[in-house]
Structure 1
Amino acid sequence: MDDLKNYNPSQFLEDFRGTFFTGEWPTLPEMFNITVERYPDRPCFTDWEGENGEKRTYSYTQAKGLVLTLANWMTVNGVQHGDRIAVSGKNSPEWAVVYLAALYAGAVICPMDYALRPEEIENLIAAAKPVMLFIDEEKYDHFAAKQMDCRVFSLSRKQGELYSLSLCADVQKNPEPALMEETAAILFTSGTTGTPKGVMLSHKNLVSDCYIAQSNMRIFSTDVFYALLPIHHAYTMLAVFIEAISVGAEIVFGKSMAVSRLMKELKDGKITMLLGVPMLFNKIAAGIIKGIKNKGPVVYAVMKMLMAVSFIIKKTFGINPGKRIFKAVLQQANIYTIRIAICGGGPLAKSVFRLYNEMGINFVQGYGLTETSPIIALNPVHHFKIESVGKYFVGKMEMKILNPNENGIGEIAVKGPMVMQGYYNMPEETAKVFTEDGWFKTGDLGWIDKENYLMLSGRVKNMIVTEGGKNVYPEEIEDAFQLETDIQQITVRGYIADEKMKSEELEALVYPGDELFAHLKIRRDLYDDDARKAVEKAVSAIVERVNRRLQPYQRITRITILDEPLEMTTTLKVKRNYNS
């Protein structure tokens, strides 16, 4: 069992205080310098973008050399202390080098969502006013041709002299380094139209959160992290990129969620740390269950019994027999090498959480927001709770529930070194999310148990109040459908069932999955009235089955079948800005 009771993940920093850094926490460049000193020859950045798609790996020493070369070039070419530098592209060593080089040059890095349309990225650029933009090949020509106040460079070697790893100055110019309390990054969470909202995170915010999060989980220099989700997002940026470089671990950059590529990179990369969102883990879990069921009812029954026994042993004695019992199954799914899997970006169905632990994967959930750098709760591997998104870091931060109801549910509020500096150039918006005495209001509803584990209920703005005065949290109902593979997407919202009484009930917006069409022997592109009726009947049966497991006030009373899926964020959550 991994005992974390007396574990201090940042204790080793004391050996470097006074020589490598002098503040309460090192800045990100100082942290990277320390790691390179400790693990110069360990692999740092890896992808499969070498010649002819071959594996490409940079050691920590090589990565630092690339970072320093680019940082010096930036400084020689006019980047000054506090300037903004934007980066937008697929996950790659080039992205990581630009990110770190900007910080070494004393600048502020502005990672931008590469999935946005060019005009949306332009809107973010107009807000951030960067002096340089580094962008990937698909959008390079668009921005290179624009009349902008920032100079444009490429993350792709196809642009030759303008390629980020080709930029080199003949002279050396020392930049003014950033201080711990100064802004390191501006992350845009929303506002792709109108005025974008940029979260300002300091070096202290990011570095403190990085090490504090490790107090609930040990990570090692021998770990291999898989950066599959978009790295501009706070979750991947901190929990994969920054966490890995804080301990000398390797980062494998994934560029696609295509199953074939995902399976190859999981296997060939020998991934030990897999961080994802519910949709990713649901897909893998559904594949595992399907594979077991295909072996017949007897094998399935035996496997289910073994899984139950494995889970009891793990929870009771801290021994993990699942890895040995289910080795063949895990190898077939290319997840046998995974030591820990962490789900963030939204609550996961309890059945999925349990499945991975039954199979021998140490699987936990975490919780946080961009505004909190982002991690503020994480399940310890040795003492996890399936129903919880994690234990908050007692003694290193504070968490409380504002205005709890009779069940202890209210808005989650936090204080701590990881809480943002504020929204960029938005003092009024910043003031709205803090209480008068300085607590950050997360906008999420939940409750905290006696052992300081956090249970999520939903978003404040998404909560539905029924005619009987019951609070309904759409996310809890949606979670009940996570293993229903015939449904690709389900979003629950309130609707007025009785205009006169203004009573509100629950509607499900459902986008059927390809498997449902296959079961019904219907082609999605030949969708006539008879086909629609068959799909509606099948979806209704699924909803009715799930309804029986829910409380009466939580049950769905209206279903709308969608012809197109609702728009999703880059962390695969539905944007709840749909039209009525």
Structure 2
Amino acid sequence: MINVTNFIKLYEKSFIENWDLPALSEFGKPDIIKYSDLAVSIAKTHLFFESIGIKPGDKIALCGKDSADWVKVYIATVTYGAVIVPILAEFNPLDITHIVNHSGAKLLFLSNSIWEHIEPEALLKVKGVVGLESKEVLHERSGEEIHRHMRLLKRRFNRRYPNGYSATDLKYIDRSNSEIVEINYTSGTTGFSKGVMLTGENLAGNVCFGIHSQLHFRSSRALAFLPLAHAYGCAFDMLTPLACGSHITLLCKTPSPRVLLKALAEVRPNLVICVPLILEKIYKNQILPMISKGTMRWTLAVPFLDTLIYSKIRKKLVDAFGGQFEEVIVGGAPLNHEVEEFLHKIKFPFTVGYGMTECGPLISYTPWRKFVVTSSGKTLPIMESKVLSDDPEHIPGEVCVRGTNVMKGYYNNPEATAAVLDEEGWLHTGDMGTRTPDGTLFLKGRSKTMILSASGQNIYPEEIEAKLNNMPFVAESLVVERDGKLVGLVYPDYEAADKIGISVADMENAMENVRKELNKLVAPYEQLSKIILMPNEFEKTPKRSIKRFLYTR
């Protein structure tokens, strides 16, 4: 049984109990921030909020790349009883301004480099803007005295805590779990952006499940390399570890394979939270070329020898991820089936979870030892799931969920809320899938992307794309319907083509061979009529998902 406790009190308890333990580090920097240091920073920020007239329930926007300062502002905001509005640093300045205004934020913490591109007069409701790294007041509205209050903060803090700030001074606001804690915007684009209202109950549901499942534990090591402004990274690379007394190392840079592998080797995390792209790149660029060689293919066909080789590959992969982790949890997008099958074959300790921002984010998860391959894990015990189908176990339908983690709704958008949350509290996810009686979910694709074939078959383009992306010379792809036929849009892997001397002129012939090979692997109604080469990479969201709507017509 999972006991979902008060969200804010989780951090009051953790900071007191773990006062002398390391809390935060930035990769490549020697400084270690203890839980006591973090608590002092939070207390100073609370005093600053109080002095400039911020009240519990007020919104505070936060925009910048992951850093210790980002974590401090987030935790200080929620433990004060204010509502945090995290904004991805990758959003363009107009979108950032739109979100700040739409949320009604009273204060904005912003990276100095982003501030250069923001028009101060376009910020309609904020009292002021504070530099995330510099701690300087970058802007204040006429009549406010934020500069003065910032200047006097140190003196006021020393006056309030003349003997220094200690664990006995730490007491955070009493605020019901039913209150909104965070508004997370699913997109920056005006007209598309929806502010997901997450309550203390929603976030505590995720964190308490993480603690109960021992994803993190006291003095465990975590490496945070997913954006903390995303619900996935936020819940399991920051909120859960800080509630346990873990030591979080923030990567603070783009997780290229070279940088990431170096950090994993140094930090040796006890849990790895990642997106499919990382495992897929390692498989395609390092493992696949190795096991596809003629001699290796022959060796893998020999009983006993294949087991030996697979165990060596497994060890190499485990060591690359630091060698100390219990499991790798893959989430944020579907994992390529070929990659998943190979990882399962070599007994690599991984599992695939499922969630969405609207559930803060977790819906389903199973520890790797009990994980069913091709599934997205088992529905959490604090959640319910159902599939809208006459035969939910065999015929895909829309996945619906309800329970502790389901959002309150979209901020100031009752129409969008009503479109996904029904009167019985079921959240209609927009994902198609099947479900076994024990609650294990098997996802097929998005209901909006599903294509109905001429013969009445449901086609999930994501499943075809997963196979196409494993083909030679394919960097990324989309499968779309054109004039009643399936067409593959492909941005080629020019680097791979250059290595073996395939010219741009020869690429069309190479892609025709790819199409023929793909069509052998899919059902007759899933076969591609042609492949169209794309001159540039597909446009993507900050989460690195292709903006599919730009290419379907």
In 1: Cα distance, 2:461 partner to 2:193 partner: 27
Query: How many angstroms does 1:201 deviate by?
Result: 0.2
In 2: Cα distance, 1:451 partner to 1:380 partner: 15
Greater Cα offset, 201-210 or 34-43 = 34-43
Contact 1:86 1:109 (8 Å CA) reproduced: yes
2:207 corresponds to which of 192, 210, 215: 210
Q: Secondary structure at the match of 1:388?
A: coil
Query: How many angstroms does 1:279 deviate by?
Result: 1.3
1:156 corresponds to which of 119, 133, 150: 133
Query: How many angstroms does 1:73 deviate by?
Result: 1.4
Q: What does residue 513 of structure 1 align with?
A: 493
1:426 corresponds to which of 396, 400, 413: 413
Q: What does residue 318 of structure 1 align with?
A: none
- 1:575 matched to 2:547: yes
Distance 1:241 1:515, change over 3 A: same
1:383 corresponds to which of 350, 370, 375: 370
Contact 1:144 1:152 (8 Å CA) reproduced: no
Per-residue deviation, residues 126-174 of structure 1 (Å, max 9, x unmatched)? 10121111112321233375553321111224859999x9994533689
The TM-score, its normalising length taken from structure 1, stands at 0.83
- 1:458 matched to 2:445: yes
In 1: Cα distance, 2:511 partner to 2:255 partner: 26
Q: What does residue 268 of structure 1 align with?
A: 266
Distance 1:275 1:167, change over 3 A: farther
Per-residue deviation, residues 221-241 of structure 1 (Å, max 9, x unmatched)? 343222212111111111221
- 1:342 matched to 2:329: yes
In 1: Cα distance, 2:523 partner to 2:210 partner: 35
Query: How many angstroms does 1:9 deviate by?
Result: 6.0
Contact 1:72 1:169 (8 Å CA) reproduced: no
Q: What does residue 109 of structure 1 align with?
A: 84
In 1: Cα distance, 2:535 partner to 2:156 partner: 59
Contact 2:23 2:245 (8 Å CA) reproduced: yes
1:69 corresponds to which of 44, 51, 70: 44
- 1:256 matched to 2:254: yes
Per-residue deviation, residues 198-254 of structure 1 (Å, max 9, x unmatched)? 000001110112223555664323432222121111111112211212222222212
| Root-mean-square deviation over aligned CA pairs | 3.1
The TM-score, its normalising length taken from structure 2, stands at 0.87
Q: What does residue 25 of structure 1 align with?
A: 5
Q: What does residue 15 of structure 1 align with?
A: none
Distance 1:87 1:303, change over 3 A: farther
Distance 1:223 1:133, change over 3 A: same
Contact 1:230 1:570 (8 Å CA) reproduced: no
In 2: Cα distance, 1:94 partner to 1:210 partner: 21
Contact 1:137 1:156 (8 Å CA) reproduced: yes
Greater Cα offset, 111-120 or 357-366 = 357-366
Per-residue deviation, residues 21-63 of structure 1 (Å, max 9, x unmatched)? xxx6212x31112222333333221213xxxx53332122222
- 1:477-516 equivalences under 5 Å are 477-484=464-471, 486-496=473-483, 504-516=484-496
- Paired AA for residue 257 in structure 2: V
- Paired AA for residue 268 in structure 1: E
- Paired AA for residue 113 in structure 2: E
Query: How many angstroms does 1:572 deviate by?
Result: 2.1
1:178 corresponds to which of 155, 161, 175: 175
2:100 corresponds to which of 114, 118, 125: 125
2:198 corresponds to which of 189, 201, 214: 201
Contact 1:205 1:417 (8 Å CA) reproduced: yes
The number of equivalent residue pairs is 528
Q: What does residue 398 of structure 1 align with?
A: 384
- Where structure 2 has 5 or more consecutive residues not aligned to the other structure, the ranges are 140-146, 161-170
In 1: Cα distance, 2:374 partner to 2:389 partner: 22
Q: What does residue 315 of structure 2 align with?
A: 327
Q: What does residue 295 of structure 2 align with?
A: 297
Distance 1:424 1:288, change over 3 A: same
In 2: Cα distance, 1:336 partner to 1:167 partner: 48
- Paired AA for residue 373 in structure 2: I
1:79 corresponds to which of 21, 35, 54: 54
Contact 2:177 2:200 (8 Å CA) reproduced: yes
Contact 2:459 2:526 (8 Å CA) reproduced: yes
Query: How many angstroms does 1:451 deviate by?
Result: 3.2
Q: Secondary structure at the match of 2:529?
A: strand
- Paired AA for residue 366 in structure 1: G
Q: What does residue 247 of structure 1 align with?
A: 244
- Paired AA for residue 153 in structure 1: V
In 2: Cα distance, 1:307 partner to 1:272 partner: 31
Q: Secondary structure at the match of 1:563?
A: coil
Q: What does residue 499 of structure 1 align with?
A: none
- Where structure 1 has 5 or more consecutive residues not aligned to the other structure, the ranges are 1-7, 11-23, 312-320, 497-503, 523-530
Q: What does residue 144 of structure 2 align with?
A: none
- 1:553-572 equivalences under 5 Å are 553-572=525-544
In 2: Cα distance, 1:166 partner to 1:330 partner: 50
Per-residue deviation, residues 360-380 of structure 1 (Å, max 9, x unmatched)? 541010101111111010122
Per-residue deviation, residues 481-515 of structure 1 (Å, max 9, x unmatched)? 3434632211112222xxxxxxx221111111243
Q: What does residue 16 of structure 1 align with?
A: none
Query: How many angstroms does 1:432 deviate by?
Result: 1.3
Contact 2:421 2:427 (8 Å CA) reproduced: yes
Query: How many angstroms does 1:532 deviate by?
Result: 3.8
Query: How many angstroms does 1:195 deviate by?
Result: 6.3
- 1:552 matched to 2:538: no
- 1:143 matched to 2:122: no
Contact 2:299 2:306 (8 Å CA) reproduced: no
1:448 corresponds to which of 423, 435, 438: 435
Distance 1:390 1:310, change over 3 A: farther
Distance 1:484 1:69, change over 3 A: farther
- Paired AA for residue 287 in structure 2: I
Query: How many angstroms does 1:298 deviate by?
Result: 4.2
Distance 1:122 1:379, change over 3 A: same
Contact 1:88 1:111 (8 Å CA) reproduced: yes
Greater Cα offset, 464-473 or 397-406 = 397-406
- 1:520-539 equivalences under 5 Å are 520-521=500-501, 531-539=503-511
Query: How many angstroms does 1:569 deviate by?
Result: 2.2
In 2: Cα distance, 1:140 partner to 1:189 partner: 22
Query: How many angstroms does 1:288 deviate by?
Result: 3.5
Q: What does residue 500 of structure 1 align with?
A: none
In 1: Cα distance, 2:105 partner to 2:515 partner: 49
Q: What does residue 283 of structure 1 align with?
A: 281
Distance 1:202 1:481, change over 3 A: same
- Paired AA for residue 395 in structure 2: G
Per-residue deviation, residues 508-535 of structure 1 (Å, max 9, x unmatched)? 111112433323436xxxxxxxx44411
- Paired AA for residue 131 in structure 2: S
Contact 1:414 1:441 (8 Å CA) reproduced: yes
Contact 1:103 1:178 (8 Å CA) reproduced: no
Q: Secondary structure at the match of 1:556?
A: coil
Q: Secondary structure at the match of 2:116?
A: helix
- Paired AA for residue 250 in structure 1: H
In 1: Cα distance, 2:469 partner to 2:192 partner: 35
- Paired AA for residue 517 in structure 2: R
- 1:17-56 equivalences under 5 Å are 25-27=5-7, 29-48=8-27, 54-56=29-31
Query: How many angstroms does 1:420 deviate by?
Result: 0.3
Contact 2:64 2:88 (8 Å CA) reproduced: yes
Q: What does residue 501 of structure 1 align with?
A: none
